[in-house]
Structure 1
């Protein structure tokens, strides 16, 4: 594997049993597969502890293979949502209350000045009020992908509409591969830790495997389409996940 940012690795390791302290949990997913890569182990541990987990998918996922003719946009959207539902089942998560915002992949709005942002934030706030989680999992605020940052911004707008604050844990996906110095946590900004997910690592790997369209071979008529790299997959085969929590709300 390539070198990893020390700021994401040199963190205390918490036991699997600590996951139960998060209580009922909701997760915001920028694209199908982010849930399995970033926090599939935590989701499995929460369900193992008998805690409810609810999920919201932010984008339509269609830009992974934009030139495919065999899988036009609607078919890509349906395929990726089906893969997400299979992955959630692998992790023990009920997909019956899955919220799909269907924002444009690669161009999710990231501020109230952009069309669709306020409506999506309101839908998200309403969903959170229905689900009543104690903890919200969301992408790291400066994860180097525009849709991940947009998801974080949408989350903050939705949370501002709620009567009570939620505990927020930020998970890492693209920062492992693409982080510039400014993308990494700043001093006194967040508390970080790693979670031992060894006991459920096989479940996490099965959930990642459910996203066949991102592993290559399934959508075979777009040579320039996205594919999870061996290096990235090797990182997410490690028996820990990394989380950050703001020091000041």
Structure 2
């Protein structure tokens, strides 16, 4: 990951801090999450603030989240998908009572990238989805995020935006870049500007939304020893009174 992004997590005072009111003019906003919970982890504060400011917000969940506990017998894929969708609805109800959500239901762990045979089909679906909405600002996962589903989600959405000839304000958020074992080296594009959003007034709501994902934060699913869990150490990276964003200028 680029030096400026890495330093932003270690020395956030080097990155401009915008007040909560800075997002009042975002207009109708779409938050795109590769997995159920990414929207709360990366943008929970922004969602809550947008709702408080009366800005329309919709969340699009790209994958079904069923690879978090692949060996669970109590929660086979269909049951886990239903559970994670219910957790998303519970989390968004915390952040605001008017947040719409759409589940795109692509396979977790296999979100198609540019080299995938089904990439163009997914792009077409997303283009139709975007064209049916009046979106002015879109939040996307960081294009160089270590997780392949996150990078593929960025590729899908930006391709869909281009093919639909839409002009949207594009803002990217980070999820896995705090981890030096996963972080990759890449050059920050010259047209990308990092900034932080002050979410101090809603950080407690963000934390409540994250904890709504009990399948990811607790031992709710205890019959898969290889299942994923967000540890307290991981969650500490999402407890700041600010959120870090990277915006294409």
TM, length-normalised to structure 1: 0.91
The corresponding residue for 2:65 is: 61
Q: Does 1:92 align with 2:96?
A: yes
Which segments of 5 or more consecutive residues in structure 1 lack a partner in the other structure?
none
Q: CA deviation at 1:189?
A: 4.0
**Structure 1 runs, 4 residues or longer, greater than 4 Å off:** none
In the TM superposition, 1:99-178 aligns within 5 A as 99-111=102-114, 113-178=115-180
SS at match of 1:22: coil
Q: Deviations over 1:43-77 (max 9, x none)?
A: 11001000101111111100000110010110011
- Structure 2 CA distance for aligned equivalents of residues 39 and 95 of structure 1: 13
Q: CA deviation at 1:127?
A: 1.6
In the TM superposition, 1:1-249 aligns within 5 A as 5-8=6-9, 9=12, 10-92=14-96, 94=98, 96=100, 98-111=101-114, 113-178=115-180, 179-183=182-186, 186=188, 188-247=190-249
- Structure 1 CA distance for aligned equivalents of residues 83 and 107 of structure 2: 16
Q: Deviations over 1:162-181 (max 9, x none)?
A: 23311100001111224535
SS at match of 2:127: helix
Q: CA deviation at 1:7?
A: 3.8
Q: Deviations over 1:75-122 (max 9, x none)?
A: 0111011111111111115354x32221111111111x4233222212
- Structure 2 CA distance for aligned equivalents of residues 54 and 120 of structure 1: 19
Q: CA deviation at 1:209?
A: 0.8
Q: Is the 8 A contact 1:28 1:57 kept in 2?
A: yes
Which segments of 5 or more consecutive residues in structure 2 lack a partner in the other structure?
none
- Structure 2 CA distance for aligned equivalents of residues 168 and 93 of structure 1: 24
Once superposed, what is the RMSD of the aligned Cα atoms?
Answer: 1.6
Q: Is the 8 A contact 1:27 1:138 kept in 2?
A: yes
Alpha-carbon distance change, 26 to 116 in structure 1, aligned in 2, over 3 angstroms: same
Question: 26-35 vs 174-183, which deviates more?
Answer: 174-183
- Structure 1 CA distance for aligned equivalents of residues 177 and 197 of structure 2: 17
Count, aligned residues: 241
SS at match of 1:136: strand
- Structure 2 CA distance for aligned equivalents of residues 189 and 228 of structure 1: 33
- Structure 2 CA distance for aligned equivalents of residues 119 and 95 of structure 1: 27
- Structure 2 CA distance for aligned equivalents of residues 239 and 122 of structure 1: 38
Q: Deviations over 1:142-198 (max 9, x none)?
A: 011000001000011110122331110000111122453514x52624101011100
- Structure 2 CA distance for aligned equivalents of residues 130 and 242 of structure 1: 29
